[in-house]
Amino acid sequence: MSAETADLTKVDSAVSGLSSSPTEEKKGHRRASSSAAGVYNINDLEKEGKELQIAKETQKLNWKLNTSPATLDDKEALKKYLTTPPVKKIDLHFPLGLEVTARNLKGVTIKDALDAIHKQFKKKADDELELPVLAGFEWDKEESWTRLIVHQKKEGAPSSGGKKKDKKKETYDE
C-alpha cells in the first residue's frame, strides 16, 4: 500500500504542478495606455502654465445642438483637434450650469465635443431650446483652466435657416 500512495503523490497535479498557472500569465501583462504621443492631460497643462487655443472652425459650423454632428457638411472640421495642444478630456460648460465632458485618449476632436453636447440635447425639440445653435467655445483661464465655455445663438446662417422652415410648413399644409 505505501508504494502505491507514493506513486499517487507523484501523479497528482497539485503536487507535480502545472506547466503554467493562470496567476503567472497575468503578471506583467498590464495594457499600456492607448493615448497618442503629444496628447496632454489638461491638469498637466495647467501645472505647466501652457495656454490652450481653440479651433476657429467651431464658430463657423452653425450646428444645432439637437441634431447629430454627422449631418454637418464640413466633415474635415470634425476631424480637427478642438484645442491646441490636444488634450485627453475637457469639460464643456453651458451658461445655465450644465456641464458635459468630451473625452478621447488620442486627443479631443471637434466631433468628440459635438457628440458629448448632442448626447445631452438629442431628445429636445427645436422649440424647447432657447438658443439652439452652437456659436463657439471660449476658454477663460481666469475662471477655470480645465473647461471651455459653450456659447450659443438663436439661429444659424440666416439664408439657409429661413428657407428650410418655410419648406416644412408647406409640406404640412398639403
Which has the closest alpha carbon to 111: 156, 78, 143, 133? 78
Question: Three-state DSSP class for 86?
Answer: coil
How does pLDDT run along the chain (174 residues), one tens digit per residue? 555 555 555 555 555 555 554 554 455 555 556 667 888 999 999 999 999 999 999 999 999 999 999 999 888 999 999 999 999 999 999 988 899 999 999 999 999 999 999 999 999 988 888 999 999 999 998 989 899 999 999 886 654 433 333 333 344 444
C-alpha torsion sign, points 62, 67, 73, 79: positive
User: Are 133 and 63 a contacting pair, CB within 8 Å?
Assistant: yes
Tell me how many degrees the CA angle 42-48-54 measures, rounded to the nearest 5. Answer: 45
pLDDT of residue 100: 96
- Asked whether the bond before 85 is cis by omega within 30 degrees of 0, the reply is yes
- Which pLDDT belongs to residue 139? 92
Residue-level pLDDT at 71: 92
* Residue 120, H or E segment: helix 110-121
Residues 118 and 22: their CA atoms lie apart, in Å, by: 44
